[in-house]
Amino acid sequence: MPISRARTIAFDVLLRVAKQDAYADEALRAELDKTVKAEDAGLATELVLGVLRWQRLLDFFIDRRLSKASKALDVEVRLALRLGIYQLRFLDRIPASAAVNESVELVKRARKRSAATLVNAILRKAAKEPLAGTSPADGAARLLSPEIPLAERLGIQYSHPTWMVERWIRIFGEERTRSLLQANNRVPALSGYLLDPEHGDEAMQSLQHAGCRIHPGRLLRDALVFEGGNPSACDAARKGWVAIQDEASQAVASLLAADPGNSVLDVCAAPGGKALALARAAGAQGHVVAADLHEHRVRGMRERFELAGVRNVETIAFDAEHPIPFEGPFAQPFDRILVDVPCSGTGTLARHPEIRWKLRVEDPRDLHGRQARLLRNALPHLAAQGRLVYSTCSLEPEENESVVREVLGSFGETYQIADPRAAIEGLLLKSVHVQSVVCNDGFFRTFPPAHGTDGFFAAAIERQKPKA
């Protein structure tokens, strides 16, 4: 029987994630061209991200029906089973026959015909299981032995690695960890904002033409939340009238409080969303240097800025883990510096679910050294009384406050943590208190279950004026 295009795309993308270490959103974009119908694109996206979010729980349901000898399945066979179980357990509108039969055909298409009988048997048994109106996570909880340790139990029930759950219980406590696990398994909001208010009406028309329903933001006054359609592919996004960016990420750029005429350095700028916002804030008399390690990413930013008609940004490639090689016109210190460092991404697991399976227990500690080098090398380029913002989309203390405190401690009293409330308070919705995002330690933090955004950390740092 023929296999629907949506399931074929989903299987191929999941195979690339599993075998080539690809990122799901990039692999999906490569597959979902203009020849793919909207309904197929929607189902393929749901299947890919749903299977990745619930991978461990799906494997729990699969492995219950396998003997010890048969649990070492080929990756193609396990992916077909995950797709089938996900449709049976999580998607009400998918006929059981379609979920079972097309998963069997996917195994055959992957040249694993010998496993077709096994896949058929497991999925047919799963289709007959009484669900009794329970959620899959609650259903799993009833099947787990009470002797299983809490972190492992929650890891299976909410589909996260046990080590990750253990560390979060240690950091956040059980209740907040449980709410975080649940938030990571919800479809995240797709947010953005108007980059060019002069084209506001045209931008809204473009978004609506692309099938987007537009709602107010959840955190920021000027944020937009998109429902339906594909805002990234509309003219408003291509022309730089609208930026697609999570609200917490939008807030980070605002913490710099860039003023017209400022010189700004964005150290790890690709793909360029924050640099665009900073260029608008600096204005025609200001100047932004958008840097990245990889030349191809710098080229991508350059094309994005040109398409958006932004003329006050200069792109450059360098490795900021080494002393930054500024000379000539770049030798002058910058009024504002953004150091949005590569990180574990644990604040974005709802948006990028495969990250939870790629990360290792030692990664937050290993990333700390790299992040500290990036911050340490950027600080000397900050002008007196200038502001630098260090940020991550990580929830892990090793990547956040411990980096800031370690690096600032090595400079003595030259730099100090600045209070970011004045920069952010006027941008928040009236219903959002600034104390909910700026903690007593002076750091900016968002927590997915509390704010409905990605989890971000940011520290505003100011260089002290030299004593006379």
10: which residues sit within 8 A by CB, 6+ positions away? Answer: 43, 44, 47, 48, 51, 83
Looking at residue 356, what is its pLDDT? 97
Question: What span, in angstroms and rounded, lies between the C-alpha atoms of 353 and 53?
Answer: 5
Residue 75, Cβ neighbours under 10 Å: how many?
13
- CATH 3.30.70.1170 is held by the domain 190-244: yes
> 288 pairs with which residues across the strands?
264, 313
User: Tens digit of pLDDT for each residue in 316-364?
Assistant: 999 999 998 776 656 789 999 999 999 999 999 999 999 999 999 999 9
For the chain, which residues score pLDDT lower than 50? none
The beta strand positions in 155-217, using DSSP E, are 190-194, 213-216
Considering the four listed CATH numbers 3.30.110.30, 2.40.37.10, 3.40.50.150, 3.30.530.20, the one that applies to the domain covering 248-463 is 3.40.50.150
User: Tens digit of pLDDT for each residue in 277-326?
Assistant: 999 899 999 999 999 999 999 999 999 898 888 899 999 999 999 998 77
Contact 441, 420 (CB under 8 A): no
318: which residues sit within 8 A by CB, 6+ positions away? Answer: 291, 293, 324, 325
Looking at residue 60, what is its pLDDT? 95
Q: What is the CA radius of gyration of the chain?
A: 24
Contact 324, 376 (CB under 8 A): no
Looking at residue 366, what is its pLDDT? 96
366: which residues sit within 8 A by CB, 6+ positions away? Answer: none
Tokens standing for 279? 């260029």
With b for 16 or more beta-carbon neighbours within 10 A and e for fewer, the 353-386 pattern comes to bbbbeebeeebbeebbebbbbbbbbbbebbbeeb
Contact 214, 204 (CB under 8 A): yes
Contact 309, 315 (CB under 8 A): no
Residue appearing with tokens 């060019």? 196
Q: Which long-range contacts (CB under 8 A, 24 or more apart) does 145-151 make?
A: 150/174
Q: What is the DSSP letter of 228?
A: S
393: annotated active-site residue? yes
Looking at residue 71, what is its pLDDT? 67
Task: Tell me, rounded to whole angstroms, the distance of Cα 113 from its chain centroid.
Answer: 37
Q: At what angle do helices 136-143 and 55-63 cross, to 10 degrees?
A: 50
Looking at residue 131, what is its pLDDT? 62
Residue ranges per structural domain of the chain: 5-143, 150-185, 190-244, 248-463
Task: Tell me, rounded to whole angstroms, the distance of Cα 139 from its chain centroid.
Answer: 28
CATH superfamily, domain 5-143, is NusB-like (1.10.940.10)
Amino acid symbol at 317: A
Of 268, 343, 393, 439, which is the active-site residue? 393
Contact 186, 350 (CB under 8 A): yes
Amino acid symbol at 11: F
Looking at residue 141, what is its pLDDT? 85
Question: What span, in angstroms and rounded, lies between the C-alpha atoms of 457 and 339?
Answer: 12
Looking at residue 70, what is its pLDDT? 63
Question: With the CA atoms of 54, 59, 61 and 62 taken in that order, what torsion angle do they form, in degrees rounded to the nearest 10?
Answer: 140
Looking at residue 327, what is its pLDDT? 67
Task: Tell me, rounded to whole angstroms, the distance of Cα 219 from its chain centroid.
Answer: 17
